[in-house]
Structures are given as structure tokens and as C-alpha cells.
Amino acid sequence: DAGITQSPRHKVTETGTPVTLRCHQTENHRYMYWYRQDPGHGLRLIHYSYGVKDTDKGEVSDGYSVSRSKTEDFLLTLESATSSQTSVYFCAIRTSGDTGELFFGEGSRLTVL
């Protein structure tokens, strides 16, 4: 168990409201990632972080921002949620080196009405 927790695990919100998802790790790993998963699209990278205050965009970053003010927490924010952001969001960490497997959290299911 790589010690990742995501919160909330489930959330229903309305269009136009802000939403923040939290990913917390207990092992001080450098790399953290946010993916979204949708039917027919697999897992797509939203943003990732390679250290405190160091983040970069993935392939589907529009409409999302992230912050990493401390090693253990990586926050994903939807400033103004839209129905197209209804999805399951997964956080992942890389536990060693610059390449290698990612350990995933259990996911956060977000529904935007």
C-alpha cells in the first residue's frame, strides 16, 4: 500500500460551482499526478507535479488548476465546474526514480449537474 488517499470519494455539485479534490500521500514521493477516466477514453492526464510548487499540464488540463504547497498534498481545482467534467478522478504517485510504475488512489467520482 503506497499510502494514497483521495477526498472526497464522491461529490455531486452544480454547474458553475468550484470544486477541489485532494490527494494525500504519506511517503514523501516527489511525483504526483491527476488523471480523469471516462468511458471510451481510458485514463487521461490532467496535471502532474514533480515537487513542491512544481507542476505541469497534461493533455486535458483546460478548466483545471492544481497546487502543491507541501509534498504530501496535491490539490485539483475546478474553478467553475461544467457537466463535461463529470468523471472519475484518480490521483497517482510514482514511488521511485524518474520512470516507473504509478500507484493509484481509489478515485473520486464527481457528478456535475
Partner 1 sequence: GESVGLHLPTLSVQEGDNSIINCAYSNSASDYFIWYKQESGKGPQFIIDIRSNMDKRQGQRVTVLLNKTVKHLSLQIAATQPGDSAVYFCAENKEAGTALIFGKGTTLSVSS
Is-contact 13 112, C-beta < 8 A?
yes
Q: How many residues bind partner 1 (CB under 8 A)?
A: 24
Nearest distance in Å: CB 101, partner 1 = 5
For 48, how many CA atoms within 13 A lie in the half-sphere containing its CB?
Answer: 15
d(CA 32, CA 14): 28
d(CA 66, CA 47): 7
CB under 8 A: which stretch of 17-25, 29-37, 69-77, 79-87 binds partner 1? 29-37
Q: Is 101 in the site for partner 1 (CB under 8 A)?
A: yes
Nearest distance in Å: CB 31, partner 1 = 7
Which of residues 104 and 111 has its CB atom nearest to partner 1 in the complex? Answer: 104
Is-contact 95 2, C-beta < 8 A?
yes
Nearest distance in Å: CB 99, partner 1 = 5
Is-contact 110 91, C-beta < 8 A?
no
Q: x/- string (CB under 8 A) for partner 1, residues 30-69?
A: -x-x-x----xxxxxx--x-x-------x-----------
